[in-house]
Chain A
Amino acid sequence: AQSVTQPDIHITVSEGASLELRCNYSYGATPYLFWYVQSPGQGLQLLLKYFSGDTLVQGIKGFEAEFKRSQSSFNLRKPSVHWSDAAEYFCAVGATDAGNMLTFGGGTRLMVKP
């Protein structure tokens, strides 16, 4: 069975600073990887996804993520954080068997200092 670990429960960065959120996964085959963002009281919005090909993927809102197979990682990055990026971020790994299920990490809550 697949699993996802997000080692950082909370991260605080200053507005304008760079950001990296860590994600490690465990899956027996080539993974489908996702990052979702959840603003307070809202549902989950897809930021970006990796299925195959270029290991650096671009998403919405200026985010990008890099798939590193050797490290089983899919870290999310943004060069300059905006106050509106404050939210909770979830990494997920998807299985293509048994119903296309996503397994989520525990989430990282991002706070942005002015």
Chain B
Amino acid sequence: NAGVTQTPKFRILKIGQSMTLQCTQDMNHNYMYWYRQDPGMGLKLIYYSVGAGITDKGEVPNGYNVSRSTTEDFPLRLELAAPSQTSVYFCASSSILWGAGYGYTFGSGTRLTVV
């Protein structure tokens, strides 16, 4: 049972390059999320999805895009990488029964550096 899988684990990008961070979950969770983590700032929500075909912006969406074509996959796209996007990115998922106590399941993170 893999849970939430993120790839790659590490990546260095040059300014202006594009890339996609992959996130896959095998728990049939409806809700999926992308967070970024910066030192001392906790985790900030970038985008989230409540089901296939439905996405919405979080607190810090600028410079990112997402899609949710299947329940399992929730990729995060950076179109024109900027140094401000240097961060650790976490994908998470939760069941629609979240309120009953299931919480989030997190991936292991992607450490991205933009130079």
Contacts and interface: CB of A to CB of B under 8 A. Distances in A.
Given A51-B99, A94-B98, A44 B106 contact: yes
Given A44-B90, A107-B40, A49 B103 contact: yes
B101 A51 contact: yes
Given A96-B99, A106-B40, A106-B42, A43 B104 contact: no
B104 A102 contact: yes
Contact of B90 (A9, A43, A105, A107): A43
A98 B59 CA distance: 13
A42 interface: yes
B106 A43 contact: yes
Given A99-B56, A100-B99, A101-B48, A46 B43 contact: no
Interface residues of B, number: 26
Contact of A100 (B35, B44, B58, B94): B94
Contacts of B103: 34, 46, 49, 94
A100 B31 contact: yes
B32 to A, nearest CB: 9
Interface string A72-111: 0000000000000000001000101011111111110000
Nearest to B41: A106
A63 interface: no
Interface of B: 31, 33, 35, 40-45, 48-50, 56, 58, 90, 94, 98-101, 103-104, 106-109
9 contacts: A6-B42, A9-B40, A34-B103, A90-B42, A94-B103, A100-B98, A102-B45, A103-B45, A104-B35
7 A-B pairs closest in CB distance: A104-B42, A100-B98, A43-B106, A106-B42, A104-B43, A43-B108, A44-B106
Interface of A: 4, 6, 9, 32, 34, 42-46, 49, 51, 90, 94, 96, 98-107
